[in-house]
């Protein structure tokens, strides 16, 4: 007589841990983690077959609030951890999370290379346009002219758009969301998790402590859905949505299908196995330096 254990039907609450979030009341990251619970439940992702990794910062606390395998790494290194995990265990669902300072300043180099390799993960960037955990300094996405703790007379540096970077770096799925629009955020997470290749989701996530209530109100007023007629396969068309000022367009900006890093590594493994073991150093030297 044999018995089988049925996989349960997961509900959003099944992905919550007993650890209570320590984010400030009103932080946009609450909407992000709630959307992740719902997206994972919609896709019925098994907690024991998934990993959430992060760097350092307010948003990087998120792995502790999700009942999957998780790792809170060092500053800017979420994508290096994700690369190692996915390369060694390609069957796992891997999600990397972090903030704009963590991912675009100290972690910018890793962002570039993970995107160009087309690693098969979803990278969720919670963008509040400020360094929240380290007390309100200007970040790479802080608009020029903004007064912060580190720019008393206004930010002298121009900001850049994370989605523009992702498209330029070679990401094959790029989207933008607003944490105050839970329905759209869940929908985009589902699409990003289902994409084969490197998915990048930039979520505008207001910081009430260092940006005030106005940031949420401003973003909500500016938010517009990307038209269905948008050609998601066109880099040129996608880039147009990264240069907006008075409008914040949410949805999928760019989407193409290309072999992922894991696809290419698997091909190399099959090729190596077919050709047999590589010659030893002794055998190589023997060919170059035959005995007298």
Residue entry with tokens 């948003």 = 59
Strands (E), 205-247: 223-225
**Dihedral sign for Cα atoms in the order 69, 75, 80, 84:** negative
- pTM score, two decimals? 0.91
pLDDT in the model for residue 68: 96
pLDDT in the model for residue 285: 79
Q: What fold is seen in the domain 12-258?
A: Rossmann fold (3.40.50)
CA-derived radius of gyration, the chain: 21
Rounded to the nearest 10 degrees, the angle between the axes of helix 162-169 and helix 108-117 is: 40
pLDDT in the model for residue 291: 62
- Which residues of the chain register pLDDT less than 50? 1
- Spans of all domains in the chain: 12-258
pLDDT in the model for residue 99: 93
Residue 182, Cβ density class (10 Å: 0-12 exposed, 13-18 middle, ≥19 buried): middle
pLDDT in the model for residue 3: 55
Residue 232 DSSP one-character state? T
pLDDT in the model for residue 210: 85
């Amino acid at each position: 007589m044999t018995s089988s254990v049925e996989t349960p039907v997961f509900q959003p609450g099944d992905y919550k841990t007993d650890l209570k979030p320590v984010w400030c009341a009103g932080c946009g990251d609450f909407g992000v983690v709630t959307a992740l619970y719902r997206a994972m439940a919609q896709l019925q992702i098994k907690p024991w077959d998934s990993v959430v990794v992060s760097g350092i910062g307010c948003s990087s606390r998120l792995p502790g609030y999700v009942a999957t395998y998780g790792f809170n790494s060092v500053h800017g290194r979420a994508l290096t951890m994700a690369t190692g995990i996915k390369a060694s265990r390609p069957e796992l669902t891997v999600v990397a999370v972090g903030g704009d300072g963590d991912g675009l300043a100290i972690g910018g180099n890793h962002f570039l290379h993970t995107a160009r390799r087309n690693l098969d993960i979803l990278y969720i960037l919670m963008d509040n346009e400020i360094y929240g955990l380290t007390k309100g300094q200007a970040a790479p996405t802080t608009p020029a002219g903004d007064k912060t703790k580190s720019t008393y007379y206004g930010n002298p540096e121009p900001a850049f758009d994370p989605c523009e970077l992702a498209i330029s770096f070679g990401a094959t799925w790029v989207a933008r969301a607003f944490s105050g629009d839970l329905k759209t955020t869940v929908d985009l997470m589902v699409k990003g998790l289902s994409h084969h290749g490197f998915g990048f989701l930039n979520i505008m996530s207001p910081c009430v402590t260092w940006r005030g209530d106005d940031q949420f109100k401003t973003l909500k007023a500016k938010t517009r859905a990307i038209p269905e007629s948008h050609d998601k396969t066109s880099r040129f068309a996608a880039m147009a949505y990264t240069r907006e000022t008075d409008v914040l367009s949410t949805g999928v900006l760019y989407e193409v299908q290309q072999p992922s890093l894991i696809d290419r590594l698997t091909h190399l493994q099959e090729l190596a196995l077919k050709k047999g073991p590589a010659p030893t150093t002794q055998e190589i030297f023997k060919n170059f330096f035959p005995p007298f």
